[in-house]
Amino acid sequence: MTDQLPPPVLIADSPAIDFLNSVAVPVDTKVEWLRSGEDLITWLLQAGMLPTDIPPIVRKASAPGELDAVAGQARALREWFRKFVDAHKGRPLKPKALQELGPLNRILARDEEFGQVVAREKIRRVRPASAEDSGPESVSGLVWSPQRRWRSPDSLLLPIARAMAELICENDFTHVKACEGHNCVLMFVDRTRGRARRWCSMAVCGNRAKQAAHRERAHLARK
């Protein structure tokens, strides 16, 4: 089911916003990266949100049709979160936003996360190493590695919900932005120093805007 899909758009500098971008219009037609359960697994692997040894475990625990149903839940979670982000982006989150977060906290309550002490080099690199992980202060050869019990297919929603919680708790929503590109639906967290990011990517929407401005100037010059 994944043969026709282009690579996912992972430009958001935030896994939770990358997840919102799992339906988009990369060229002219809308692409849905989460059509099925297998699509969802593929997307999570490509986004670095699922350890590579987990898909066989989840498939085995799944009744026929169950994985596809989870993909439906993932799409519903995505569109619910899009409404929340759209309503709150551009300014810091207030404590009263919690009133809207019941659906997210209900998913998070199902999580069976635990930790293990592992050798530093053996830690599974699900996400790129953080700076503090490899910094000069890392004197111990052992490290805390968060793990999760993947008991049923709907555990696939947990890394997504966790990413949403991290975006909400650890980021300034002032810097959550929508691409300014014409007809572009992609969003991102602006982590640039001057907070001047305007485009999903310079190569796509940035360039289009530059060309449009150029055409406009050329048109005015001819007048």
Stretch that binds Zn ion, among 100-108, 124-132, 166-174, 194-202 (CB under 5 A): 194-202
Q: Which residues contact 115 (CB under 8 A, 6 or more apart)?
A: 144, 145, 146, 147
Nearer to Zn ion, 9 or 41 (CB): 9
Residue with tokens 């005015």: 220
Distance (Å, rounded) from C-alpha 75 to C-alpha 80? 9
Q: How far is CA 7 from CA 3, 10, 53, 101, in A?
A: 10, 9, 21, 30
Instruction: Enumerate residues 6+ apart whose C-beta is below 8 A from 129.
Output: none
Which of the ranges 42-50, 141-149, 180-188, 207-215 carries the binding residues for Zn ion, by CB under 5 A?
Answer: 180-188
Nearer to Zn ion, 70 or 204 (CB): 204
- Contact call for residue 9 and Zn ion (CB under 5 A): no
CA distance 45 to 125: 12
Residue 115 DSSP class: E
In the complex with Zn ion, which residue's Cβ is closer, 44 or 189?
Answer: 189
Quote the tokens at residue 14.
């935030």
Which residues does residue 115 pair with via DSSP β-bridges, in sequence order?
146
Minimum distance, C-beta of residue 183 to Zn ion, in the bound complex (Å): 9
Q: Does 184 bind Zn ion (CB under 5 A)?
A: yes
Question: Which positions from 128 to 167 touch Zn ion by CB under 5 A, shown as an x/- string?
Answer: ----------------------------------------
200 lines the binding site for Zn ion (CB under 5 A): yes
Q: Which amino acid is at 90?
A: G
Q: Give the C-alpha separation, 117 to 143, whole Å.
A: 6
Between CA 61 and CA 151 the distance in angstroms is: 7
Decide if residue 179 touches Zn ion (CB under 5 A): yes
Piece of the chain touching Zn ion by CB under 5 A; list 52-60, 74-82, 167-175, 179-187: 179-187
- Residue 181, interface with Zn ion (CB under 5 A)? yes
**Residue number, 164 or 205, with CB nearest to Zn ion:** 205
Of 159 and 181, CB closest to Zn ion: 181
Task: Give the nearer residue to Zn ion in terms of CB position, either 107 or 186.
Answer: 186
Contacting positions for Zn ion (CB under 5 A)? 179, 181, 184, 186, 200, 205
